[in-house]
Amino acid sequence: MEPTCSSSVAELAKYSEDVETDESKLAEHQEYAEVLSMSGERRKRKRWTRRSCCTRQLLSVGAIFIALLLIIGAIYMHLRQKHHLGRLHINLKDRERVEVLAEDFPVVTAAAVAAQTPTITTFQPSATSSPEPSAKCLACMATTATDNIPAICRNRGRAEEPCGIYRISHVYWQDALRIIDPDDLLAQDYGRCVVDDQCAERIVRSYVQRYGGKDCNGDGRIECRDHVGLHMRGPGGCHRQEPLGSLVERRLEGCLKYSGIT
């Protein structure tokens, strides 16, 4: 019986050692599996990070490209609108095009003119004065008012209607009509006259003749700039030396330079 017991004990001990060995191997396998899993997760995170970086870079490049296109487009539109940076557009290219202008001419009444300028009828121009606009000055008046594009005016108490390249309002026409030849039948018809360049020119000359003799910019001379100021702002605005605005001023200065008017 003793040899049998000894062999059983030995087998049991050997079995215990095999179990312990298996457990240690299992633990090692688990540790190895955990290491592999962590390594895989790290690789996934690295790949995801690389992809995210690439996506961000592509988005950044795309945004920069779009911004450059917008800047180039804005510069192009700016150059298209700034006539003084290129060829001066004095001649009308498209007679069919009209421009709706929201700004009305100021209402001018005889009482207001008399109150502001009581000596207007007795004004004597100096040697450097130009009491009547020349043909070149008239062209610059049209360029300044509408860029030589027939306009549509919103006259007070009237519907929108064409008012020509000088942008002659109904009140402006009425003021000038007082010294127009009554036999000038075309000039008596506002709608027909203001869209006819020659008739509109007679209206402008009469208006300047009636309210002219004013130094609208305070430089001590009466010249084309003053005629334009009177035409655009009326006698009251001329008396107050109201500015024309940046766009209108650029049109005027560009035309004066182009026409050789100092």
Specify the pairing of strand 151-153 against strand 161-164: antiparallel
CA distance 109 to 259: 33
pLDDT band at residue 31, thresholds of 50, 70 and 90? Answer: confident
Instruction: Give tens-digit pLDDT for 189-201.
Output: 999 999 999 999 9
Instruction: Give tens-digit pLDDT for 8-22.
Output: 556 655 555 555 566
The helix, strand and coil proportions of the chain, stated in percent and rounded to the nearest 5, come to: 60, 5, 35
Residue 240 confidence (pLDDT): 92
Domain 135-259 has CATH 3.40.50.2300: no
CA distance 20 to 17: 5
Instruction: Give tens-digit pLDDT for 202-257.
Output: 999 999 999 877 889 888 889 999 999 999 999 999 999 998 889 999 999 999 99
Rg, the chain, Cα only: 44
CA distance 210 to 189: 19
The ranges assigned to domains in the chain are 38-81, 135-259
Stated as kind and residue range, the H or E segment containing 48 is helix 2-81
Do 13 and 19 form a contact (C-beta atoms < 8 A)?
Answer: no
pLDDT band at residue 23, thresholds of 50, 70 and 90? Answer: low
